[in-house]
Structure 1
Amino acid sequence: MASLPPRFSSLRNRFLAALALVVGVAALVLALIARYQITPILLEDESRYASGELDRIERALDNERDHLQSLVEDWAWWDDTYAFVSGTRPEYVDSNLYAGTLETLGVELMAFFAADGSPYWTAGIDRQGAFWSCAGQPDTCGGSRELTDLIRTLTAGELEARTHSWLLANDSPALIALSPILKSQDDSPANGWLAMVLPLSEPLIAQLRETTGIDLSLDGQPVEGSMADDRLQRLSPTRMRVIRDLAALPGGQALRLEAILPRQRYQASLETFRFALIWTAAVLAVTLVVVLLLLERMILRPLRDFARFTQQLSRHEHDQQTPDALIGRKDEIGILARAFQHLRQRQRHQHDLLLEMSQHDALTGLANRRLLDEHLAAALARAAQGEHGVTLMMVDIDHFKAYNDHFGHPAGDACLRTIAETMCQHFNRAGQLVARTGGEEFTVVLPGAPPAAGPRMAESLRAAIEHLAIPHPHSRVTISIGVSQLGPRQQRTAESLIAGADTALYAAKRAGRNRVRVESALHWV
């Protein structure tokens, strides 16, 4: 007897389990997307942001470089400077090259070079803040000749006669600007070079920090080979360090630019994504709850009522009526309930008919015409879909009326029972059916019989009946048989098959009785 399904087998619980699995998979997919799609995109954006901040610092350095180039051009393209290097303005030193000048300009060294590249005059401020100034190399007056030697090396090369600038990466990072000494009004050739060195001191770096709003530092570092790409180090969820090497003098050195940046851009984007994810999950959860409530109200609860009703029927509570709430629905469940009700009514009707009528002939025990019709219809339906055909035999006892008239009805009944028993012995396989369809008429249905077997079995039955040697006024009792057949996957009505066998039966009678005839219109496909 059917019963309600176990807890896990119920439709609702299986749906909830499947939904939970789908939600879990969706959550896993979202986590994987966040881990392998969103996070790399945010980190890449953070890297671009860090590179952009370094570019901004470089632009601030370029501004200082441009300012230094403007200063050196103003002095180098001054006619008094041109005359000074030419040796015609000895008062130039006292008038212009003193400590206040360098402090005002913010430089630590001014070096004048003659046209042949030799140091003409140098003035500077040492690391202790002392001013020095002298002709020729600075070591003659307390200065260091390291910078002047480096600048002299630059001027000794094939340097284009225009203003140049470089970064200097030694113990004290600095900016160097170099410009040819020219007259301001004519096209006279350059009369040497003027170099200025601006130290990248802590006050200047502090000014850069204030200008850019970035915690930065500059430091000279040795390099081997080509410059390395930008390096990003994430120190914590809120801070990161980014490093870039800038080309600088002398060779084999680089000016390392290092900045500590906040990660608020990344954190803000991550928080935005998380916020959107949380809201999406919340909306999805609310949607799922609403869907579950609607599913419970519109589908699951009516189905449970329907299942409970069918269980009551299985407990032989046949007087139960299909609930009006199910019958009155306008949806698929209502259609199912009404169809079920129709099936119940049809079943009850068929049951009443079967109680009223027997399926078998009372005299012979064979199937009656009703059972024959049902069996034949089922056999034809299977033949239309399968690989085997159907053979139908119409059997008639020859001159049975004369037998009855001569021996009486009791003997006739005995003859019918004997012939019926013989037919049952011949056709006793599963699916085969022998029916009494008239006073002395019988019908045999042989599903799945090969085409050649039908006539052969009919002949075997004819011979068996003749072999019984039942006495008859004319000699002995014999039968005539008409055979019709249906090939596999053919379409043919039961009436047509019976009519074909009946036609063949009359052909056998016209041919003299006690013989078998096969319907001539059969075509196997």
Structure 2
Amino acid sequence: MGLRRKLLVSIGLILAILLVLLYLATSVILMSSFSNLEEQLVLQDVNRALRVLETEVLELNRLLRDWAAWDETYAFIETGHPSYVAQNLDDAVFANLRLNLMIFVRYPDQILYSKAFDPQGNRPAEIPRGLYAYLTPESALFNLPHPDSSVAGILPLPEGPLLVAAQPVLTSRYQGPVHGALIFGRFLSAAELARLSQMIHLNIDVRAYDDPSLPSDFQEVRSSLTREKPLVVQTPGANSVAGYALIADLLGRPALITRVVATRDIYYAGQAAQNYIFLSLLAIGLVFGEATLILMDRLVISRLSNLSTSVTRIRTSGDLTERMAESGKDE
């Protein structure tokens, strides 16, 4: 193998090894950074979804305050007069407030009046049977003896997740004594989730924590979600990334898992950047290698070739007085 070829192979191997090492280093650093950025943005989206759910609960609680601290409601709890129902609890009220149920409680243990409504179907409905387990005198929804008592949160009913709020019934001046309580409920239905998703421009899905028919990706993350680690990010598919969050019920028990799905635009942007970097390194390596070969050829190989030619000529001629031609001022 000639000197030029040996030099070409050596430089090529060195450049190839350097390119591979640089590519691996940039791949680890770059893709790790893009993956971390993707995870952070997904977690931000999950927190946005949690905040909008919390806002819905707070809004329901504020709406309830207007009805619970009202002289007419206070009088209704005391007297049970049907005129209150006729004047204030028609279907249009439920539709306008997007409420699924109202329950009026008279202490110590009487459900004075209850009504359920389906705002999507615009028709009366039944009080969900799963709610009755929470309507006992000892329950948090029922037992509100003080004027400043209040509970609000989410209940994972068999009929679906229910946003619920309960407050003691007071006069319009927020005074007692407390003779009962008022409960509002709003199902977190598909229509409600679609409305919330549109509000924050995210794809929100909510499932019951103990649902035996959970989708496979929910089942995979369920064991990873705890009070200490309520947020998890997974990649259920090559083109999507999802964030999951654990939501507790009124009693602090695991109740729901919410999921936000996003496309992997950031990750694929990182892959594109990685490919651009590799092509740039390859181009730079080829230019550097070509320049190195040209310089080596002019500064070293060509002179060694001339030296070899001169030595051969002198040996062939046998004239030891002949001198080799010199070029340049270096060695």
TM-score by length of 1: 0.53
Verify: 1:122 aligned to 2:114, yes or no: yes
- Contact 1:109 1:122 (C-alpha < 8 Å) held by counterparts: yes
Q: 1:154 is matched with which residue?
A: 140
- Contact 1:168 1:250 (C-alpha < 8 Å) held by counterparts: no
Q: 1:164 is matched with which residue?
A: 151
For residues 151 and 292 of structure 1, do their structure 2 counterparts lie closer, same or farther at Cα, with a shift above 3 Å needed? Answer: farther
SS state at 2:157 partner? coil
Q: 1:349 is matched with which residue?
A: none
| Corresponding letter in the other structure for 2:131 | L
Cα root mean square deviation, aligned: 3.1
Instruction: State the distance in 1 between where 2:288 and 2:235 align.
Output: 40
SS state at 1:154 partner? coil
Instruction: State the distance in 1 between where 2:234 and 2:80 align.
Output: 58
For residues 16 and 189 of structure 1, do their structure 2 counterparts lie closer, same or farther at Cα, with a shift above 3 Å needed? Answer: farther
Instruction: State the distance in 2 between where 1:314 and 1:182 align.
Output: 121
Q: Structure 1 residue 36: deviation in Å?
A: 4.0
SS state at 2:323 partner? coil
Verify: 1:184 aligned to 2:184, yes or no: no
For residues 164 and 285 of structure 1, do their structure 2 counterparts lie closer, same or farther at Cα, with a shift above 3 Å needed? Answer: farther
- Contact 2:101 2:117 (C-alpha < 8 Å) held by counterparts: yes
CA deviation string 1:77-113 (max 9, x = no partner): 2222222222276521111112221111111111122
| Corresponding letter in the other structure for 1:282 | A
Q: Structure 1 residue 186: deviation in Å?
A: 5.3
Verify: 1:110 aligned to 2:96, yes or no: no
Instruction: State the distance in 1 between where 2:202 and 2:174 align.
Output: 46
- Contact 2:246 2:257 (C-alpha < 8 Å) held by counterparts: yes
- Contact 2:19 2:285 (C-alpha < 8 Å) held by counterparts: no
Instruction: State the distance in 2 between where 1:187 and 1:158 align.
Output: 14
Q: 2:219 is matched with which residue?
A: none
Q: Structure 1 residue 306: deviation in Å?
A: 2.6
| Corresponding letter in the other structure for 1:87 | T
The answer to which structure, 1 or 2, has the higher relative contact order (CA under 8 A, 6+ apart) is: 2
| Corresponding letter in the other structure for 2:246 | D
For residues 320 and 162 of structure 1, do their structure 2 counterparts lie closer, same or farther at Cα, with a shift above 3 Å needed? Answer: farther
CA deviation string 1:260-291 (max 9, x = no partner): 32001111122123213322321332233223
Instruction: State the distance in 1 between where 2:48 and 2:128 align.
Output: 34
Q: Structure 1 residue 305: deviation in Å?
A: 1.7
| Corresponding letter in the other structure for 1:168 | L
Q: Which runs of 5+ in 1 are unaligned?
A: 1-5, 133-141, 337-525
TM-score by length of 2: 0.81
- Contact 1:117 1:192 (C-alpha < 8 Å) held by counterparts: no
CA deviation string 1:445-501 (max 9, x = no partner): xxxxxxxxxxxxxxxxxxxxxxxxxxxxxxxxxxxxxxxxxxxxxxxxxxxxxxxxx
Verify: 1:84 aligned to 2:76, yes or no: yes
Verify: 1:322 aligned to 2:324, yes or no: yes
Q: Which has the larger radius of gyration?
A: 1
- Contact 2:31 2:267 (C-alpha < 8 Å) held by counterparts: no
For residues 22 and 117 of structure 1, do their structure 2 counterparts lie closer, same or farther at Cα, with a shift above 3 Å needed? Answer: farther
Out of 30, 37, 40, the position equivalent to 1:48 is 40
CA deviation string 1:331-386 (max 9, x = no partner): xxx3x2xxxxxxxxxxxxxxxxxxxxxxxxxxxxxxxxxxxxxxxxxxxxxxxxxx
Q: 1:220 is matched with which residue?
A: 208
Q: 1:345 is matched with which residue?
A: none
CA deviation string 1:271-322 (max 9, x = no partner): 1232133223213322332232233223332232233323434443434332
Verify: 1:196 aligned to 2:180, yes or no: no
Out of 173, 190, 194, the position equivalent to 2:161 is 173
Alignment of 1:340-351 (within 5 A): none
**Identical amino acids, percent of aligned pairs:** 20
Alignment of 1:215-364 (within 5 A): 215-222=203-210, 226=226, 229-248=230-249, 253-315=254-316, 316-324=318-326, 326=327, 329-330=328-329, 334=330, 336=331
For residues 294 and 201 of structure 1, do their structure 2 counterparts lie closer, same or farther at Cα, with a shift above 3 Å needed? Answer: same
- Greater displacement, 47-56 / 161-170: 161-170
Equivalent pairs counted in the alignment come to 312
Q: Structure 1 residue 250: deviation in Å?
A: 7.1
Q: Structure 1 residue 197: deviation in Å?
A: 0.7
Q: Structure 1 residue 159: deviation in Å?
A: 8.4
For residues 291 and 184 of structure 1, do their structure 2 counterparts lie closer, same or farther at Cα, with a shift above 3 Å needed? Answer: farther
Instruction: State the distance in 2 between where 1:317 and 1:158 align.
Output: 121
Instruction: State the distance in 2 between where 1:45 and 1:146 align.
Output: 42
For residues 203 and 186 of structure 1, do their structure 2 counterparts lie closer, same or farther at Cα, with a shift above 3 Å needed? Answer: closer
Q: Structure 1 residue 150: deviation in Å?
A: 0.9
